[in-house]
């Protein structure tokens, strides 16, 4: 059974800091891994999608890496801004199921 763990559960950083969010999964037989952002009371916004054959994806200040063999992914956020404050969720898809981690709640202080 696939299990997805995100560390840390919560993070508070000053504006401008670079930061890393971690995601680990137990079953490496995945199709892809996605990182999502969720604002309070809202749905999910897809940030980055990494296919199983890829090692990383970049979008603006965001960079996500995938190491299937070790069951790990990281989301790197450069030069953080108060507008980045949200919950970040990673999800792995495999065997026609998408399983989520519990998320990392990020607060960027101005």
- Binding residues (CB under 8 A) for other proteins: these are 4, 6, 31-32, 34, 36, 41-44, 46, 49, 51-52, 89, 91, 93, 96-103, 105
- In terms of C-beta distances under 8 Å and separation of at least 24 residues, what long-range contacts does 55-63 make, across chains too? 62/35
Q: How many CB atoms lie within 10 A of CB 68?
A: 18
In the complex with other proteins, the residue whose CB is nearer, 2 or 17, is: 2
In the complex with other proteins, the residue whose CB is nearer, 13 or 44, is: 44
**Residue reference for tokens 């603006």:** 60
Smallest separation (angstroms) from other proteins to the CB of 107: 14
Smallest separation (angstroms) from other proteins to the CB of 16: 27
In terms of Cα–Cα distance, which of 98, 50, 53, 107 is closest to 80? 107
């Amino acid at each position: 059974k696939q299990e997805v763990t995100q560390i840390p559960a919560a993070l508070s950083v000053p504006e401008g800091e670079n930061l890393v969010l971690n995601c680990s999964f137990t079953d490496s037989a995945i199709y892809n891994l996605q990182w999502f952002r969720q604002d309070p009371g809202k749905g999910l916004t897809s940030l980055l999608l990494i296919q199983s054959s890829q090692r990383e994806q970049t979008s603006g200040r965001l960079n996500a890496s995938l190491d299937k063999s070790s069951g790990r992914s990281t989301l790197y956020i450069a030069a953080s801004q108060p507008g980045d404050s949200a919950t970040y969720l990673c999800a792995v898809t495999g065997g026609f199921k998408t399983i989520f981690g519990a998320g990392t709640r990020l607060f960027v202080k101005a």
